[in-house]
Amino acid sequence: MEKDVLILEDVTIRFAGDSGDGMQLTGSQFTNSTALAGNDLSTLPDYPAEIRAPAGTLYGVSGFQLHFSNSDIQTPGDSPDVLVAMNPAALKVNLKDLKKNATIIVNTSAFDAKNLKLAHYDVNPLEDDSLEGFEVVQVPLTQLTMSALESVSISIKEKERCKNFFALGLMYWLYSRPIEATVDWIDEKFGKLPLILEANKKALMAGYYFGENTELFTSRFHIEPAKLAAGTYRNISGNEATALGFIAASVKCNLPLFLGSYPITPASDILHELSRHRNFGVKTFQAEDEIAAIAATIGAAYAGSLAITTTSGPGLALKTEAVGLAVMTELPIVIVNVQRGGPSTGLPTKTEQADLLQSVYGRNGEAPVCVLAAATPADCFDMAVEASRIAIKYMTPVIMLTDGYLGNGSEPWKIPPADSIPEIPVHFAKADKEFHPYERDENLSRPWAKPGTPGLEHRIGGLEKAHITGHVSYDPDNHHFMINMRQDKINKIQQDIPDLEVRGDQSGELLVLGWGGTYGAITEAVTKATKVGYKVSQAHLRHLNPFPGNLEKVLRSFKKILIPEINLGQLAKLIRMEYLIDVHSYNVVRGLPFKASDIEQKIIQMLGEKK
Amino acid sequence: MSDKTSVIETHKLTAKDFASSQDVRWCPGCGDYSILAQMQRVSPDLGIPKEKFVWVSGIGCSSRFPYYMDTYGFHGIHGRALAIASGVKIANPDLSVWVATGDGDCLSIGGNHFIHTCRRNMDLKVLLFNNKIYGLTKGQYSPTSEKGKKTKSTPFGSIDYPFNPIAVTLGVDATFVARSIDRDPKHLQAMMQRAAKHSGTAFIEIYQNCNIFNDGAFLDFTEKDRKADNIIIMEHGKPLVFGKANDKGIVLDGFNPKVVDLSEGKYSVNDVWVHDEFDRNPARATILSHFTEMEGFPVPFGVFRQIEKSTYDGDTHDQIEGYIKVKGKGDLDKLFMSGNTWTVE
């Protein structure tokens, strides 16, 4: 039966099931194939902290949301058009997020008494009117998978685990995606387990052909490739982009890359990625704890490496004292904080922006550091290079902020030619003149003297240093001088960073100012509000300490400033404090990215409903 | 091109070349002076160019050590010396990295790093200045203070059992474990020389007198009248005998050591346990490590155990070289283009 093909502009799909159902894998495979189909896309993995929460429970539901389109898109989508629910709990947890009239594809095989009870359903929602208004497509996914695998001699459990590939195949058919990349992936992944390989491939194909043959679907959909700027693209997550950015920086500064790290969600993928690239001379050191990780990083920087450490909020808290040591010894290190929900252990797998003040101020003493924040998953690449450049040029620790959404989320990355990335000059001290470890250059940076260089033997450490000589000094005037010197050095970076760009009118009624991972949601909100006639401009900070030099001028060009943040107003505090300019904070701290529509509503509220 | 011969260092370095310009600020009479002097004495003859020495420390009296050595030096933060030193060594395995640490720095706040550094066999030389007291914070008990010790923070006597650093290092299969003392310069120098030549974590516990807060803690091991009966010098291949007239020995009865009198005729030196520093089995060295807690037993000095294992920093280097051989040197463009890509015209 030939089916109609309907052309869509964009679609948001959410895959949801048990943490053990392979939803993240299904989602990332679908993403990969969608990228290859040439669509623009943005993803939002959303999973519980428990690795395998008890099956069927509400708190064990794992989801993966993907927004793809024939044009430029900024967010993983506010609310899904399509939900694939592998069990009753997945349906219950996700139902409230769906668009009106959304399509729900349910795995009816999982809607038995036990699972309904685990999901706290008194009545089967497929049998009452609770799903009215949605287009519900009932597919016995598990059962169909089992029959498709009848001839494969693996256990029943192993067969059942293939149901995500059946669902994936069905969605590939429904949205006209290429299937080959997943077939190749299965071949590679299960090369040593021929029966599992066969089963997964069969399930995938069975799902695909089921779509073609069933009468449940009268039509399938097609989304034209997006008209992205010319170039070669790949799909990339923020954590991958961060890792590649540091490898690029290491090549560009011609120094070996050292990573000292302790596994922590959601930052571990950077460690995983970097540990694969030993042929770039990358030395990854999985330390015994967060403190050892940064301490070793400082040691490696002292020895002349491009040295970085990666962590998330609780880890940064543990590293605090050592960051101060790097400030005092003026060594170039980069600390990546993939922010997650806090305080304490908080929400390990969820996103948040609440470590800004911790990064700018959270140390004993006056201990200024440079703070940067990436705006999108692909921007993590550029910010890793930028963080490395600043750390080396100014001999300072740099904190690079990303977050769980950026780290795990992905988007197409326009691959830069390696030679388009500027070199990062490094000037190690030479023994050709008298050497003073705390003498300063025009950037106020002290010399970087590599152990092993004859004639430059010197001592540094956490005790206050005398100006120029670097000897231990308890002199009051020297301390006052050095406190100011360290601050001046960080302030000086302002002259070396780009001005803040304003999108839209350069002055006017309202500026929406953001930083970090809210870029996509703010951009979409401002674009939509502008389309319907509102006068609103947008600016996004990637340099947070110091701020860009023109920030005050930009702020004073607008009557109102709106700052949406996934915290209780940390950037707003900094802006008020620094410039005595009042701002409107918009704060939603739910462990999730902003919805663009919520920000749009806020914009409309501030500018007044159009008459 | 002319056939240049490399410049040969004609100036022979001396201990003085390893003394920095900084005034040494330890209390007069502190055991640290001796450790510093012995280190400066042995350094010129270790076959290591001066610029390749890196001294790393944490916090405490002992941790001021790097300031007084005219080498590369890094005075870190409390407890983290071994972690900082690990970073230095992994980054540049060509350096000879030494750590000066104390019983508080190494065993209390830095205990975790201590265990893991030894476990990894990171190629570091670790001098533990053990004075069994907190000096720089003015006299609280330390993890190696004896139970019952009265200090500023334990007016009723400490109720902590002391840490046995030698047993811990043996427990994580450290590859070089030794003990020495500030008041025996020759022995200390010999241990330092052996540590320098060892590949892997070389740990020396150095008993060090704090004449301000714990004066006389080691008199039993230094005073002529009683020293001989209280210590035993371990030497490879030699029987474990001690006493003024070498009239006492250690006999091993299964897992149980006992002190025997060699003058009575019941036991001869042939019955005495012969020390094997290179025994791959850590059991005997571990028995020796517990003599400090056993009534009537002498405290052992010397090398408890030395074994050969690959080092963390060496293995890192080998993995990189090995992978480059297989994959070729990293190429950024290839890296960026790996995985699934597509092109927009």
Convert the pLDDT of each residue in A549-575 to its tens digit.
999 999 999 999 999 999 999 999 999
Q: For position A530, what pLDDT does the model report?
A: 96
A269 shares its domain with A389? yes
Give the rounded percent of residues in chain A with a pLDDT score beyond 90: 95
CATH number at residue A44: 3.40.920.10
- What is d(CA A130, CA A133) in angstroms, rounded to the nearest whole number? 9
Contacts of A484 (CB under 8 A, 6+ apart): none
Q: For position A52, what pLDDT does the model report?
A: 81
pLDDT at B8 over 70: no
Residue A160 domain flag: yes
Chain A residues within 8 A of B76 when measuring between CB atoms: 295, 298, 325, 461-462
Res. B165 pLDDT band, cuts 50 70 90:
very high
Q: With beta carbons less than 8 A apart as the criterion, state whether B110 and B137 touch.
A: no
State how far the alpha carbon of B164 is from the alpha carbons of B149, B188, B206, B232, in Å: 16, 20, 13, 17
Q: With beta carbons less than 8 A apart as the criterion, state whether A200 and A162 touch.
A: yes
- What is d(CA A119, CA A140) in angstroms, rounded to the nearest whole number? 18
Q: Do B113 and A36 touch (CB under 8 A)?
A: no
Residue A471 domain flag: no
Residue A500 domain flag: no
CB of B111 within 8 Å of any CB in chain A?
no
Give the rounded percent of residues in chain B with a pLDDT score beyond 90: 95
Q: For position A429, what pLDDT does the model report?
A: 98
Report the residue from A231, A282, A287 with minimal CB separation from B344: A231
Q: What is the mean pLDDT of chain B?
A: 95
Contacts of A224 (CB under 8 A, 6+ apart): A7, A70
CATH number at residue A599: 3.40.50.920
Burial of B141-162, coded b for 16+ CB within 10 Å and e otherwise, reads bbbbbeeebebeebeeebeeeb
Q: With beta carbons less than 8 A apart as the criterion, state whether A312 and A340 touch.
A: yes
Q: Do B335 and A244 touch (CB under 8 A)?
A: yes
Which tens digits make up the pLDDT trace of B235-255?
999 999 999 999 999 999 999
β-sheet bridge partners, residue B253? B256
Contacts of A501 (CB under 8 A, 6+ apart): A539
Q: For position A19, what pLDDT does the model report?
A: 86
Chain A contacts in chain B segment 170-199 (CB below 8 A): none
A372 shares its domain with A330? yes
Residue A211 domain flag: yes
DSSP for B263-281, please give it. Answer: SSSS--GGGSPBP-TT-SS
- What is d(CA A405, CA A408) in angstroms, rounded to the nearest whole number? 6
Chain B residues within 8 A of A297 when measuring between CB atoms: 87
Q: Do B51 and A453 touch (CB under 8 A)?
A: yes
A173 shares its domain with A128? yes
Which tens digits make up the pLDDT trace of A72-124?
999 999 999 999 999 999 999 999 999 999 999 999 999 999 999 999 999 99
Q: Do A247 and B330 touch (CB under 8 A)?
A: yes
Chain B residues within 8 A of A32 when measuring between CB atoms: 340
Chain B residues within 8 A of A70 when measuring between CB atoms: none
Q: Are strands A306-311 and A257-261 parallel, antiparallel or unpaired?
A: parallel
- The domain tally of chain A equals 3
Report the residue from B76, B95, B333 with minimal CB separation from A418: B333
Q: Do A457 and B71 touch (CB under 8 A)?
A: yes
A243 shares its domain with A184? no
Tell me the nearest-neighbour CA distance from B75 into chain A, angstroms. Answer: 4
Contacts of B68 (CB under 8 A, 6+ apart): B19, B20, B22, B24, B36
Q: Which of A370, A400, A420 is the last residue of a domain?
A: A420
pLDDT at A405 over 50: yes
- What is d(CA B63, CA B84) in angstroms, rounded to the nearest whole number? 13
Chain B residues within 8 A of A302 when measuring between CB atoms: 74, 84, 87-88
- What is d(CA A398, CA A387) in angstroms, rounded to the nearest whole number? 6
Tell me the nearest-neighbour CA distance from A228 into chain B, angstroms. Answer: 7
**SS3 letters for A518-551?**
HHHHHHHHHHHHHHCCCCEEEEEECEEECCCCCH
Give B30's DSSP letter.
Answer: -
- Helix pair A313-329, A290-302: axis angle to 10 deg: 30
Q: Do A459 and B72 touch (CB under 8 A)?
A: yes
- Helix pair B185-197, B32-42: axis angle to 10 deg: 50
Q: Do A452 and B92 touch (CB under 8 A)?
A: yes
Which tens digits make up the pLDDT trace of A496-543?
999 999 999 999 999 999 999 999 999 999 999 999 999 999 999 999
3-state helix, strand, coil in chain B (%, to 5): 35, 20, 45
pLDDT at B161 over 70: yes
Q: For position A53, what pLDDT does the model report?
A: 83
- What is d(CA A222, CA A171) in angstroms, rounded to the nearest whole number? 12
β-sheet bridge partners, residue A292? none
A273 shares its domain with A319? yes
A163 shares its domain with A280? no
Q: What is the mean pLDDT of residues A448-467?
A: 97
Burial of B85-98, coded b for 16+ CB within 10 Å and e otherwise, reads bbbbbbbbbebbbb
Q: Do A472 and B80 touch (CB under 8 A)?
A: no
**Which 3 state secondary structure label does DSSP give B345?**
coil
Report the residue from A291, A299, A458 with minimal CB separation from B87: A299
A404 shares its domain with A340? yes
- What is d(CA A240, CA A351) in angstroms, rounded to the nearest whole number? 17
End-to-end CA distance of chain B: 53
A30 shares its domain with A128? yes
Q: For position A48, what pLDDT does the model report?
A: 85
Task: Determine which helix (DSSP H) or strand (DSSP E) holds A249, and give its type and residue range.
Answer: helix A238-252
Report the residue from B51, B72, B90 with minimal CB separation from A283: B90
Q: Do B86 and A299 touch (CB under 8 A)?
A: yes
Task: Determine which helix (DSSP H) or strand (DSSP E) holds A238, and give its type and residue range.
Answer: helix A238-252
Cis peptide before A80 (omega within 30 of 0): no
Structure tokens at B224: 């002529």
Residue A267 domain flag: yes
Q: Do B343 and A235 touch (CB under 8 A)?
A: no
Q: For position A200, what pLDDT does the model report?
A: 97
Q: For position B166, what pLDDT does the model report?
A: 98
pLDDT at B10 over 70: no
- What is d(CA A100, CA A115) in angstroms, rounded to the nearest whole number? 26
Structure tokens at B204: 């020396």
- Residue B232 phi/psi, 5-degree rounding, is -135, 130
Match 């679908």 to its residue by tokens.
A30
Chain B residues within 8 A of A235 when measuring between CB atoms: 339-340
Contacts of B149 (CB under 8 A, 6+ apart): B132, B141, B157, B158
Q: Which of A170, A195, A223 is the last residue of a domain?
A: A223
Q: With beta carbons less than 8 A apart as the criterion, state whether A312 and A336 touch.
A: no
The range of the structural domain enclosing residue A352 comes to 237-420
**Which 3 state secondary structure label does DSSP give A334?**
strand
- Residue A144 phi/psi, 5-degree rounding, is -65, -35
Q: For position B6, what pLDDT does the model report?
A: 47
End-to-end CA distance of chain A: 51
Chain A residues within 8 A of B88 when measuring between CB atoms: 299-300, 302-303, 451
State how far the alpha carbon of A505 is from the alpha carbons of A390, A603, B57, in Å: 31, 15, 56
**Strands, E assignment, B145-286:** 176-181, 202-207, 231-234, 241-242, 248-253, 256-261
Domains of chain B are 13-223 (3.40.50.970)
Q: For position A193, what pLDDT does the model report?
A: 95
For residue A152, count CB atoms less than 10 angstroms from its CB and return exposed for 0-12, middle for 13-18, buried for 19 or more. middle
Match 């943040």 to its residue by tokens.
A565
A14 shares its domain with A132? yes
Chain B contacts in chain A segment 234-273 (CB below 8 A): 234-235, 244, 247-248, 251, 256, 258, 260
Contacts of A203 (CB under 8 A, 6+ apart): A145, A148, A149, A162, A163, A165, A166, A169
Q: Do A459 and B73 touch (CB under 8 A)?
A: yes
Tell me the nearest-neighbour CA distance from B53 into chain A, angstroms. Answer: 8
Q: What is the mean pLDDT of residues B314-323?
A: 98
Residue A475 domain flag: no
Which tens digits make up the pLDDT trace of A345-396?
999 999 999 999 999 999 999 999 999 999 999 999 999 999 999 999 999 9
Structure tokens at B229: 């009966």
Which tens digits make up the pLDDT trace of A139-170?
999 999 999 999 999 999 999 999 999 999 99
- Residue A118 phi/psi, 5-degree rounding, is -60, -30
Residue A490 domain flag: no
Q: Do A297 and B51 touch (CB under 8 A)?
A: no
Q: Which of A192, A223, A254 is the last residue of a domain?
A: A223
Match 């070289």 to its residue by tokens.
B321
For residue A122, count CB atoms less than 10 angstroms from its CB and return exposed for 0-12, middle for 13-18, buried for 19 or more. exposed
A310 shares its domain with A197? no
Chain B residues within 8 A of A298 when measuring between CB atoms: 76, 84, 87
Q: What is the mean pLDDT of residues A239-263?
A: 98
Q: For position A1, what pLDDT does the model report?
A: 53
- Residue A96 phi/psi, 5-degree rounding, is -65, -20
Q: Do A303 and B91 touch (CB under 8 A)?
A: yes
Spacing of C-alpha A318 from chain mean position = 22
β-sheet bridge partners, residue A422? none
A139 shares its domain with A209? yes
Residue A438 domain flag: no
A262 shares its domain with A140? no
CB of A326 within 8 Å of any CB in chain B?
no
Chain B residues within 8 A of A247 when measuring between CB atoms: 330, 332, 335
**Does this complex have an ipTM over 0.90?**
yes
Q: Do B87 and A300 touch (CB under 8 A)?
A: yes
Q: With beta carbons less than 8 A apart as the criterion, state whether B277 and B263 touch.
A: no
The residue among A180, A288, A419 with the most chain B CBs within 10 A of its CB, best to mutate, is A288
CATH number at residue A373: 3.40.50.970
Q: Do A461 and B75 touch (CB under 8 A)?
A: yes
